[in-house]
C-alpha cells in the first residue's frame, strides 16, 4: 500500500525537464552492435561520455566498473547490507535496413509532436533513460536507497555478446545474489488479449530456451535410374515430417494461469467465464492453447521449425548427403538434453544423425507470489494506475537470463506504453516513444526505489 510518506517523497522529488532531449542525444549515437566492425568502438565510447555529461550526480555518487569493453556497471550504495537489486538495460541497437523509408532519419533523434523518433527509442535506450533519470532525480533530493542498487547496461545484447554474462559472473563471484533483477521484456500494452478491457503491464517471469539442431543423412550415391527406397534427401524429409507440433507435450506455466486469472477479473460476460475456467484448469489451458497454434501454442510448449534444408548436387545423381536445420524454442521446465532426446526418438531413424549446433537452456520461472512481484505491482499502480500487473512467459532472449541462472527473482518489464504498432517498430521502421510515456516510466522507477525495503 502507498503510505503517506511515499506520496510525500514522490511529490517532493521533482523530475527534471528534458528527458526527451536526453533520449534524443542517446539516439544520435549509432551504437549498432552488429556493425561494430565497420563503425568501430567510437559510438560506444561516446555513449559512455554522454552518460557522464547527462547524469552528473550518478557519476559523482555511484561507483563504476566495466566488464568486457561495453558492459557498464554502476553501484549505488544503500543504507543496509541486504541483497541488492539490479536494474538492467542495453544501449546497443540493431541495424537499420537501408531499403526502409523512415519518416525521420533513424539516428537524428527527432523530437516532434510529443514523440521521440529513432532507432533505440523503445529498444532499449528509452527504458535506459527512465532508469537513469529516476536515479538522478532521487540523488538530487538527497535520497539513499534502503539496499544497494546496481545499474547494469550492456552494449552487445543484440548480438548475444558477453557483457551481461561477464557482469553477472562478476557479481556472483563476489557472493552477491540479487534480491530482484529487472530487465527489458514486457511493456504496458493496451489490449493484451481479446475482450480484456484495461491496459496491462506485462512482466516476463521467464524466457524460453533456444536450440539449433542439424539433421544429416548419408546415402551411397550412384545413378538416379535405380534408386533405393529412400535416398538421403527422402530420409531427411521423412525425419522433418515426423516432427509435428505434437512432438512436444503442452504444459501451462504457472505464470500463464495467473495471467488468465487476472484477465478474468478485467473482462465480462462469456470471456470472463472462459478465462476463469482456463485459469483453474492448467491441463485444459495447455490443450486449448496447443490447438489454437501460433503464439498461444508457443506459450505452452516447445516449438520446432525446420528452417533450412539442403542435399544433392545434380538432378540425375543420388545424393550422397542431405541435411536439415531445426530451430527449437524450449519450454520452461525442459532442457536442451531432454529436447534432443525427444527429437531423436520421434525421428526414430538410426541413420539420421542429430547434432546440436547451439543450445541455450530456458530460464527458470520467477514466482509471482513474493515481495518482489508485489513491489513491481505497487510501482505500476503509481505510474500506470489503470494497468493490471500481469505475468507472462517470453519467447525472446534477454540479457537477464545470465542472472536467472543463479538469482531467483528476475523480471522482464520496461515501464513504457507500447501500442501494437510501436511494438512492430522495434527492430523495424519508425521506432518511437511518447514523451509522456517516458515521464511515467521515470515515475515507475522512482516509485520502486522509494518503496524498496
Ligand atoms: Zn532489447
Phi, psi of 213 (to 5 degrees): -125, 140
C-alpha cell at 82: 541486504
Candidate list 123, 124, 157, 158, residue with the active-site label:
157
Distances (CA, A) of 305 to 189, 211, 321: 28, 11, 21
* Span from the CA of 157 to the centroid of ligand 1 (angstroms): 7
pLDDT in tens, 202-222: 999 999 999 999 999 998 878
Candidate list 92, 123, 183, 361, residue with the active-site label:
92
| Host H or E run for residue 330 | strand 321-330
Distances (CA, A) of 346 to 238, 249, 376: 11, 12, 42
- What is 240-302 written as a DSSP string? HHH--GGGS-----HHHHHHHHHHHHT--HHHHHHHHHHHH-HHHHHHHHHHH-HHHHHHHS-
Conformational region of residue 293, where left means phi above 0, alpha means psi within -120 to 50, and beta covers everything else: left
Would you call 113 a catalytic residue per the annotation?
no
Q: Which residues contact 331 (CB under 8 A, 6 or more apart)?
A: 208, 248, 251, 253, 300, 301, 302, 362
* Span from the CA of 114 to the centroid of ligand 1 (angstroms): 23
pLDDT in tens, 145-168: 999 999 999 999 999 889 999 999
Domain count, the chain: 2
From 325, 344, 360, the end of a domain falls on: 360
Same domain for 283 and 367: no
Positions of the chain with pLDDT lower than 70, given as ranges: 1-9, 11
* Span from the CA of 122 to the centroid of ligand 1 (angstroms): 8
Phi, psi of 170 (to 5 degrees): -60, -45
* Span from the CA of 320 to the centroid of ligand 1 (angstroms): 43
Same domain for 381 and 328: no
pLDDT, position 4? 56
* Span from the CA of 399 to the centroid of ligand 1 (angstroms): 8
Same domain for 190 and 44: yes
pLDDT in tens, 89-124: 999 999 998 889 999 999 999 999 999 999 999 999
Strands 71-76 and 115-117, bridge-based pairing: unpaired
Same domain for 351 and 295: yes
C-alpha cell at 395: 519467447
Nearest to 302 by CA among 222, 199, 395, 432: 395
pLDDT, position 192? 72
| Contact (Cβ atoms closer than 8 angstroms) between residue 142 and residue 21 | no
Q: For residues 106 and 102, what is the distance between their CA atoms, to the nearest angstrom?
A: 7
* Span from the CA of 125 to the centroid of ligand 1 (angstroms): 9
Q: 424: domain CATH number?
A: 3.40.630.10
Same domain for 312 and 168: no
Nearest to 399 by CA among 167, 66, 65, 131: 167
Same domain for 187 and 63: yes
C-alpha cell at 284: 485444459
Same domain for 303 and 173: no
Same domain for 356 and 368: no
Question: Using alpha carbons only, how large is the chain's radius of gyration in Å?
Answer: 24
pLDDT, position 1? 46
pLDDT, position 3? 58
Q: 322: domain CATH number?
A: 3.30.70.360
Phi, psi of 235 (to 5 degrees): -65, -40
* Span from the CA of 101 to the centroid of ligand 1 (angstroms): 22
C-alpha cell at 246: 505434437
Same domain for 338 and 236: yes
From 332, 360, 388, the end of a domain falls on: 360
Range(s) of the domain holding residue 148 = 4-207+363-450
Residue list, CB under 5 A from ion ligand 1: 123-124, 184
Would you call 92 a catalytic residue per the annotation?
yes
Same domain for 235 and 163: no
From 360, 380, 399, the end of a domain falls on: 360
* Span from the CA of 345 to the centroid of ligand 1 (angstroms): 36
Same domain for 367 and 307: no
Given CA atoms 133, 139, 145, 147 in this order, what sign does their dihedral have? positive
Same domain for 288 and 391: no
* Span from the CA of 155 to the centroid of ligand 1 (angstroms): 10
Amino acid at each position: 500500500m502507498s503510505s503517506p510518506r511515499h506520496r510525500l517523497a514522490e511529490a517532493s522529488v521533482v523530475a527534471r525537464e528534458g528527458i526527451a532531449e536526453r533520449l534524443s542525444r542517446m539516439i544520435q549515437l549509432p551504437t549498432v552492435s552488429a556493425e561494430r566492425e565497420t563503425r568501430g568502438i567510437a559510438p560506444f565510447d561516446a555513449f559512455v561520455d554522454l552518460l557522464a555529461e547527462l547524469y552528473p550526480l550518478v557519476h559523482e555518487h555511484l561507483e563504476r566498473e566495466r566488464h568486457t569493453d561495453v558492459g557498464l556497471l554502476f553501484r549505488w550504495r544503500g543504507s543496509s547490507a541486504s541483497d541488492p537489486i539490479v536494474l538492467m538495460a542495453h544501449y546497443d541497437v540493431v541495424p537499420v535496413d537501408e531499403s526502409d523509408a523512415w519518416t525521420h532519419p533513424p539516428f537524428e533523434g527527432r523530437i516532434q509532436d510529443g514523440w521521440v523518433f529513432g532507432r533505440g527509442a523503445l529498444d532499449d535506450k528509452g527504458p535506459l533513460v527512465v532508469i537513469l533519470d529516476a536515479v538522478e532525480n532521487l540523488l538530487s533530493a538527497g535520497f539513499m536507497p534502503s539496499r544497494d542498487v546496481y545499474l547494469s547496461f550492456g552494449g552487445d545484447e543484440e548480438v548475444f555478446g558477453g557483457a551481461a554474462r561477464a557482469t553477472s559472473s562478476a557479481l556472483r563471484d563476489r557472493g552477491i545474489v540479487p534480491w530482484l533483477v529487472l530487465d527489458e521484456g514486457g511493456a504496458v500494452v493496451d489490449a493484451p488479449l481479446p475482450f480484456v478491457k484495461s491496459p496491462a503491464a506485462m512482466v516476463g517471469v521467464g524466457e524460453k530456451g533456444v536450440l539449433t539442431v542439424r539433421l544429416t543423412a548419408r546415402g551411397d550415391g550412384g545413378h538416379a535410374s535405380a534408386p533405393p527406397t529412400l535416398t538421403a534427401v527422402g530420409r531427411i524429409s521423412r525425419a522433418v515430417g515426423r516432427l509435428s507440433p505434437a512432438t512436444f507435450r503442452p504444459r501451462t506455466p504457472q505464470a500463464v494461469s495467473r495471467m488468465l486469472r487476472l484477465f478474468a477479473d478485467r473482462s465480462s460476460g462469456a470471456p470472463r467465464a472462459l478465462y476463469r475456467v482456463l485459469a483453474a484448469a492448467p491441463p485444459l489451458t495447455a490443450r486449448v492453447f496447443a490447438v489454437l497454434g501460433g503464439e498461444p501454442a508457443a506459450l505452452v510448449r516447445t516449438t520446432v521449425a525446420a528452417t533450412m534444408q539442403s542435399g544433392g548436387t545434380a538432378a540425375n545423381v543420388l545424393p550422397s548427403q542431405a541435411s536439415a536445420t531445426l530451430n527449437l524454442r524450449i519450454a520452461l521446465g525442459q532442457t536442451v538434453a531432454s529436447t534432443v532426446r525427444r527429437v531423436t526418438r520421434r525421428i526414430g531413424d538410426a541413420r539420421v544423425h542429430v547434432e546440436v549446433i547451439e543450445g541455450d537452456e530456458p530460464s527458470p520461472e520467477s514466482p509471482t507470489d513474493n515481495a518482489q512481484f508485489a513491489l513491481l505491482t505497487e510501482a505500476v499502480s503509481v505510474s500506470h494506475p489503470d494497468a493490471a500487473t500481469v505475468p507472462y512467459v517470453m519467447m525472446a532472449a534477454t540479457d537477464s537470463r545470465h542472472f536467472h541462472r543463479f538469482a531467483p527473482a528476475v523480471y522482464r518489464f520496461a515501464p513504457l506504453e507500447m501500442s501494437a504498432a510501436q511494438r512492430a517498430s522495434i527492430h523495424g521502421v519508425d521506432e518511437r516513444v511518447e514523451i509522456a510515456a517516458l515521464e511515467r516510466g521515470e515515475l515507475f522507477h522512482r516509485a520502486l526505489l522509494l518503496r524498496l525495503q
